[in-house]
Structure 1
């Protein structure tokens, strides 16, 4: 299916779902680290964060970029870009809880950008 055939709102809802999965992952990893050090290391593998960020960036560029093209409002894209920037910056933080907190904040801001994009597309 061509990307032009997919409604912006559907892409945004899919991206919000991905943000929700990221949030669950961050919280579950924090709990796993606290309860089971060996299980926490599996959930906290670096490649999971890198792949998740790549997926979020790709989906953000597609959905938010398509939104700007469709409705002409740049604010949702700017808000989403801020969230992605915070998520990217979180990868540079130590695994002492600050990475998870920064990621959660970035995910929430990114989800807000997608929600604003969805509202603007209506």
Structure 2
């Protein structure tokens, strides 16, 4: 029972982290692109690297355990594609391509966590 609660919390944390990442991306485009503010903080490479590492850790643990628990691989595959897009966003550098890849990636990661939670019940 305690393991299930931890897995559910990790999936919920993955959804929250995905939302925060998307918010960061949209606010970064708005503040830097339209207002010319906050570029040194919002566009700092370390922010993106740390976010990706957190997403990888939470995703691998919760989505991996989900496969073991409910036997469905789809959430893991969806999450892996999302994480790959997020990693690709770091590789392309700042700009529209990065924003699009990141937003699609985090949406897929969030969807994977939601599917994982639904499969668990």
Task: Give the alignment's TM-score, normalised by structure 2.
Answer: 0.92
Q: Which runs of 5+ in 1 are unaligned?
A: none
Pairing 1:107–2:92 present: no
Cα contact 1:30–1:40 (8 A) shared by 2: no
Task: Give the alignment's TM-score, normalised by structure 1.
Answer: 0.91
Residues 39-86 of structure 1: CA distance to partner in whole angstroms, max 9, x if unpaired?
123211000000000000000011101111111111111111110011
Separation in 2 of the partners of 1:106 and 1:5?
Answer: 26
1:66 equivalent in structure 2: 65
1:46 equivalent in structure 2: 45
Matches within 5 A, 1:27-46: 27-46=26-45
CA RMSD of aligned residues (A): 1.5
Cα contact 1:68–1:74 (8 A) shared by 2: yes
Cα contact 1:8–1:121 (8 A) shared by 2: no
Cα contact 1:53–1:87 (8 A) shared by 2: yes
